[in-house]
Copies of this chain bind each other. A is one copy, B any other.
Amino acid sequence: MALHIEKIAKSRISEVDFNNLQFGHEFTDHMFECDFEDGEWQNPVIKPYQPILFDPSAKVFHYGQAVFEGMKAYKDDDDKIWLFRPEQNQERINISAERLDMPSFPKDLFFEGLTTLLKIDSEWIQKGEGNSLYIRPFIIATEHGISASASNRYKFMIICSPVQAYYAGEVRVVIADKYSRSANGGVGYAKAAGNYAGSFYPARLAREKGFQQVVWTDSCTHEYLEEAGVMNVFFRINNTLLTAPTSDRILDGITRKSIIQFLESEGIDIEVRPIKVTEIVEAARKGELLEMFGAGTAAVVSPILGFSHQGENFELPKVENSYASFIKKSITAIQQNKAEDKFGWRYEVK
């Protein structure tokens, strides 16, 4: 199946101020698109980034069949382009798709579309500290008709957005005791569009109380800590890091699993086990909760300065040489080809 390429007449890159980028707002000149029809993926094409015509009855608008991935490409000082564990994203989008009864997208076509697109739009990947190209592969249901059943037609796309270092500002969180992100036997482990829509209202309520995000707990008891906002979450008690095991409720984050592997290699204590809310609250009271941070593709590591639990607020101490900054620095150095890649995580686009 030949990849068709249709290039733009004139790049929009000169219109973009790379020093003042809003996250995920500007897109590169081209996009990758491939349609699922008659039971197979067909007509892969790279073409100018542009709006697409959708019928108002397209199933994605009514029944939420939509899954996505988030990745980043970096350019090193020698103009080489690097991805971070892209095979993990390729596998996960198909795990997500299966749970939403959508067809899997072939690995070879994923990589051909992705790397060809990155090479065509390589000027959009800026060198320099914190700069990268955020890559968004996604699959949406395009069949017309509003019967409540899985679509027979889909569109796989990759769009790319140049981004600077992600800084969310000071982040304090509310530990959820009413709202939930996902159910046992639900779709929480998938990067499904609907998971995000359901998180915005609880996050708004948190913001109205002066907090920036929600740390989700299990929906049955609210006794166990699960994810932070749209990231996995780590807690540091004394010199031990804790993070919850993945489950059908929790996203199998690529940054999360990379951090775990990195910490193990560094000899830092990391425990992957169910974490009780009460354990964290007690550690905070005793001054033993030294750090909390989110882990995800956009920010890599995002420090959390404090939390609220059932109306009581806790502020974390300021820690010198924090694990969060050590991890972020170490992982991003690997991502950007500034450190040895002893785990084999880097993937050169060439």
Mark out the residues of chain A between 143 and 193 whose CB falls within 8 Å of any chain B CB in the assembled complex: 144-150, 157, 159, 161, 176, 178-187, 192-193
Report chain B residues within 8 Å CB of A105: none
Min Cβ gap A311→B in Å is: 17
**Count of identical protomers in the assembly:** 2
Q: Please tell me which stretch of A96-104, A234-242, A267-275 contacts chain B, meaning at least 4 of its Cβ atoms lie within 8 angstroms of it.
A: A96-104
CB–CB B201/A99 < 8 A = yes
Report chain B residues within 8 Å CB of A148: 196, 230
Partner of A57, one of B27, B100, B145, B222: B27
A204 on interface, CB distance cutoff 8 Å: yes
CB-based nearest B residue for A187: B198
CB–CB A138/B61 < 8 A = yes
How many chain-A residues does the 8 Å CB contact rule pick out? 67
A344 on interface, CB distance cutoff 8 Å: no
CB–CB A196/B63 < 8 A = yes
CB–CB B25/A145 < 8 A = yes
Convert A245-284 into 0s and 1s, putting 1 for each residue whose CB lies closer than 8 angstroms to a CB of B: 0000000000000000000000000000000000000000
Measured in the bound complex, the distance between the Cα atoms of B207 and A149 in whole Å is: 12
CB–CB A49/B60 < 8 A = no
Measured in the bound complex, the distance between the Cα atoms of B192 and A80 in whole Å is: 43
Partner of A63, one of B49, B53, B57, B197: B197
Since A182-B183, A182-B186 are in contact, a sample of 4 more A-B pairs with Cβ atoms closer than 8 Å, ordered by chain A residue number, is: A57-B136, A66-B197, A101-B201, A186-B219
